[in-house]
Amino acid sequence: MTDESGEVVFDQDCLPFGGDLAVVGDLEPLNDVDERYKYTGQREEVSIGLYYYGARYYDPEIARFITEDIYPGELGNPQSQNLYVYVMNNPLKYVDPSGNKSENPFIKSYNSFKEIGKGFWGGLEQRNEYKLDSTYDFFNWLSIGIIDGVWSGLKNRDEHRKDSIYDYANWLTMGTVDILNGAINPDDPYSAEHWLNSFGVASMIYGQCITTRFITSTT
C-alpha cells in the first residue's frame, strides 16, 4: 500500500489461505473508519482474528468458515459439499466474495453472459408478442425495450428519491449513481447485474469521449 506521494506504507504477505506472514515493523492497513481490509480485500476483525465475508466469518488459521454455507454443494463435486471449507481448498483458482458459494470468475462471467443473452432474447419475443397492442407497445418493440426500461427506471427512482441522500442523488443523475456503484462495488461480483452495470459505465465513458471529440472538431 502506498500513500499519496507513492511511498510504501504497508507491505503484507499472506499465506495461501489468508494467514499473515508477519514481518517486524509492518503496519496495519486502515481505512477512514478504522476497519482493516487485507486478504482478498475482506475486512479483518482483529479482536477475534476472523475475516468478515458478508454472509459468514472466516478463520484463516484453519482455512474454514465458522458457520455453514447456505449452498449445499453439487452431487458430482464432493469438495463443494463441505459447508465450512474455503473455496474448495483452492484459493489460487477460486474467489468467494460473499462468504457463500465459491466460483471461478471466468465460469461465473460466462454463465452471466448466457443469462444476459437469454434475458435479451426473451425480451425480444415478449415485445414482439405485444407490439400491436398499443402505440406504446409498438414503439417499445421498435426501440428494443429502451422506452420501457427508461420509463420504469424513472418511475422507480422518483418513488424512492426521498428515502435517502443516495436515492436522491441517484434520481438527480437519472440512475448514474446506481450504475457506477453496481460496477465498482457490486453486491455479487461477475454476476449479470455486475456486467450490465460495467457495460453501462463503459457506454457513458465512450459517449463522453465521442461528445468531446465532436465539440472539439466543431470549434
Query: 117 and 185: one domain?
Result: yes
Query: 85 and 109: one domain?
Result: no
Model pLDDT, residue 79: 79
DSSP 192: H
119-166 residue pLDDT tens: 999 999 999 999 999 999 999 999 989 999 899 999 999 999 999 999
Percent of the chain at pLDDT > 70 equals: 88
Mean pLDDT to the nearest integer, 15-30: 68
Query: 116 and 142: one domain?
Result: yes
Query: 72 and 124: one domain?
Result: no
Query: 66 and 149: one domain?
Result: no
At 214, the pLDDT band (50, 70, 90 cuts) reads confident
Query: 56 and 81: one domain?
Result: yes
Query: 33 and 67: one domain?
Result: yes
DSSP sequence for 111-140: HHHHHHHHHHHHHHHHHHHHTTS-HHHHHH
Main-chain dihedrals φ then ψ at residue 11, nearest 5 degrees: -145, 105
Nearest to 12 by CA among 34, 40, 51, 33: 40
Is-above-0.75 flag for pTM? Answer: no
Query: 32 and 81: one domain?
Result: yes
Query: 70 and 115: one domain?
Result: no
Query: 76 and 136: one domain?
Result: no
When divided into structural domains, the chain yields a total of: 2
**Domain presence at residue 71:** yes
What is the dihedral sign for C-alpha 165, 170, 173, 176? positive
First to last CA, the chain: 43
**Residue where a domain stops, chosen among 57, 89, 121:** 89
Task: Enumerate residues 6+ apart whose C-beta is below 8 A from 57.
Answer: 45, 48, 50, 51, 65, 66, 67
Model pLDDT, residue 41: 78
pLDDT at 81 over 60: yes
**Domain presence at residue 2:** no
At 31, the pLDDT band (50, 70, 90 cuts) reads very low
Mean pLDDT to the nearest integer, 37-63: 86
pLDDT at 7 over 80: no
**Residue where a domain stops, chosen among 46, 63, 89:** 89
**Domain presence at residue 8:** no
Model pLDDT, residue 74: 72
- Domain interval for residue 53: 13-89
**Domain presence at residue 99:** no
Model pLDDT, residue 10: 65
54-67 residue pLDDT tens: 888 999 999 999 99
**Domain presence at residue 100:** no
DSSP 39: G
pLDDT at 33 over 80: no
The answer to whether 18 touches 58, Cβ cutoff 8 Å, is yes
At 110, the pLDDT band (50, 70, 90 cuts) reads confident
Query: 125 and 186: one domain?
Result: yes
Query: 78 and 111: one domain?
Result: no
